């Protein structure tokens, strides 16, 4: 029985530089997994590979039994068309470090853009649901504001609502609090914690070790493009970590 999300031997190179080196990770349905590690370890790239924002050079990614981005045909993995990739991405929500809300649309328009435009849902339904999602992240009163009128923390919570509006099977968070002022971090982390209780499968790249220990079931520690250690998040302390390099990293950041 294979896992819900299964990365097998994925490798990503830029020219001669190997940024992700033979990484295999298996994640069960409903699990929350944090990717940890120093800058340049390849954590964000792994996340972007799952969402096909980066093209993998080797290996495979299977989500819920479906091969992502490629199809085995006549002895080779053939890349899917843009349209097929777009369809697969509908099931994967992503939250970016720099929020990336559509600057020319209001908060509400940001949330309903893809449900109406891509999933062809009725506009009235999409609006009603958008209000619900915005309420969940505590921002329904900002529905008519433009992204530039919101703080970073508010923008990130809208970005979470926007991703959830597509009803994804899987949520990816790429350092969701790294671009935020310190006093705004907790609002975003609370929104993610609340989400974790709903049973959605999540992969989070983060530098917030305390948050990772609290919200995630397991951690994956990466360094120089490789997985160094993986284990239950309770083990995220200098004393409990098994690998020496994980301990070294934790002793610096904790």
Residue 40 or 248: which CB sits closer to another protein?
A: 40
Residue 5 or 241: which CB sits closer to another protein?
A: 5
Residue 152 or 231: which CB sits closer to another protein?
A: 152
Residue 8 or 178: which CB sits closer to another protein?
A: 178
Q: How many residues bind another protein (CB under 8 A)?
A: 45
Listed residue (173, 242, 185) closest to 210, CA to CA: 185
Span interacting with another protein, options 57-65, 121-129, 175-183, 211-219, rule CB under 8 A: 175-183
What's the Cα-to-Cα distance from 167 to each of 57, 63, 68, 119, rounded to whole Å? 29, 15, 18, 10
Residue 53 or 224: which CB sits closer to another protein?
A: 53
Task: Name the maximum alpha-carbon separation found in the chain.
Answer: 55
x-or-dash string of contact with another protein, 37-56, rule CB under 8 A: -------xx--x--x-xxx-
Contact in structure between 215 and 35 (CB atoms under 8 Å): no
Among 114, 131, 226, 243, binds another protein (CB under 8 A): 114
E strands in the chain? 5-14, 17-27, 32-36, 58-63, 66-67, 70-73, 76-79, 92-95, 170-174, 201-205, 218-223, 226-232
Backbone angles phi, psi at 141, to 5 degrees: -70, -10
How far, rounded to the nearest angstrom, does the alpha carbon of residue 178 sit from its chain's CA centroid?
14
Binding site residues, another protein, CB under 8 A: 14, 19, 44-45, 48, 51, 53-55, 82-83, 86-87, 89-94, 96-98, 100-104, 113-114, 117-119, 146-149, 152, 159, 162-163, 166, 174-175, 178-179
């Amino acid at each position: 029985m294979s896992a819900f999300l299964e990365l097998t031997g994925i490798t990503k190179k830029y020219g001669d530089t190997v940024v992700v080196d033979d990484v295999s990770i298996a994640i069960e349905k409903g699990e929350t997994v944090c990717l940890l590690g120093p800058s340049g370890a390849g954590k964000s790239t792994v996340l972007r590979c799952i969402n096909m924002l980066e093209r993998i050079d080797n290996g495979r990614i299977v989500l819920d039994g479906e091969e992502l981005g490629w199809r085995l045909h006549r002895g080779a993995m053939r890349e899917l068309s843009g349209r097929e990739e777009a369809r697969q991405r509908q099931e994967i929500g992503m939250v970016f470090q720099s929020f990336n809300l559509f600057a020319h649309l209001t908060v509400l328009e940001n949330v309903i853009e893809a449900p109406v435009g891509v999933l062809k849902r009725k506009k009235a339904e999409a609006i009603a649901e958008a209000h619900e999602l915005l309420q969940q992240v505590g921002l329904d009163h900002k529905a008519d504001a433009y992204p530039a009128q919101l703080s970073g923390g508010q923008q990130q919570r809208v970005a979470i609502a926007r991703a959830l509006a597509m009803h994804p099977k899987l949520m990816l968070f790429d350092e969701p609090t790294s671009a935020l002022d310190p006093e705004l971090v907790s609002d975003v982390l609370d929104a993610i914690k609340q989400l974790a209780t709903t049973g959605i499968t999540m992969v989070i790249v983060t530098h917030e070790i305390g948050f990772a220990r609290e919200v995630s079931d397991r951690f994956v520690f990466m360094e120089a493009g490789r997985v160094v250690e993986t284990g239950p998040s309770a083990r995220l302390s200098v004393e409990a970590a098994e690998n020496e390099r994980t301990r070294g990293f934790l002793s610096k950041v904790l």
